Amino acid sequence: MDDEVPWMGFEDRRILVTGGAGFIGSHLVDALMERGAYVTVLDNLTTGSRENIGRWIDHGRFSFQTGDCLRAEDLGKAMKDGEVVFHAAANPEVRAALTDPQVDFEQNIVATKMILEGMRRSQDIGILAFTSTSTVYGEATQLPTAESYGPLTPISLYGASKLACEALISGYCHMYGMRSVIYRFANIVGS
């Protein structure tokens, strides 16, 4: 993990993991805790579970907050004294947009904008690692798909919302001097 982001060591860093009780987020929490980070998890537990992070609940370098990235008060509390945000909170159910397109808009785009605004205002948190998705490529004709592949033509609202988040992150980083890493995960499996 440290090798992938050479400017980001984790030992003694104060890190917020949004969606940290979810599948991806909880594995990220494990890796960060094992590397000596101070970790705060913000999760609304819609799809996540306390069981996923149970081994850390009583650890001195760990704190858990039930809350939502869509609420400024929850974010402000979770971001207090932070240095880095790993943003893994999202609506993970691609098919949910078939009946309620607002879910992807709010849970992905608006939540990401709220986090970016919180970072901009805090001036202490200047690094964001964002969990995106390979669905931003749409039906790619090149496999494996290079990061430089284009045009990016998502075929789901989930993919489109994640691509919109990537654009917001790019804009905020360029305008406000933040740094970011975007991971486009594909076919996540495991336990």
DSSP letter at 106 equals I
Task: Say what the pLDDT of residue 189 is.
Answer: 79
pTM over 0.85: yes
7 pLDDT band, cuts 50/70/90, is low
Q: Which tokens is 126 given? A: 């200047």
Q: Which tokens is 147 given? A: 């990061």
Instruction: Return d(Cα 102, Cα 153) in angstroms, integer.
Output: 20
Instruction: Return d(Cα 191, Cα 181) in angstroms, integer.
Output: 25
Task: Note the pLDDT tens digit of each residue in 123-138.
Answer: 899 999 999 999 999 9
With contact defined as beta carbons under 8 Å apart, do 22 and 43 qualify? yes
Q: Which tokens is 155 given? A: 């075929």
With contact defined as beta carbons under 8 Å apart, do 15 and 63 qualify? no
Q: Which residues are catalytic?
A: 158
Task: Say what the pLDDT of residue 5 is.
Answer: 56
Mean confidence (pLDDT) of the chain:
93
Instruction: Return d(Cα 165, Cα 162) in angstroms, integer.
Output: 5
**Cis status, amide bond into 151, omega within 30 of 0:** yes
Q: Report domain extents, the chain.
A: 2-185
Q: What percent of the chain has pLDDT over 70?
A: 95
H or E segment and range at residue 14? strand 14-18
Task: Note the pLDDT tens digit of each residue in 24-79.
Answer: 999 999 999 999 999 999 999 999 999 999 999 999 999 999 999 999 999 999 99
Domain 2-185 has CATH 3.40.50.720: yes
Least confident of 69-73, 148-152, 166-170: 148-152
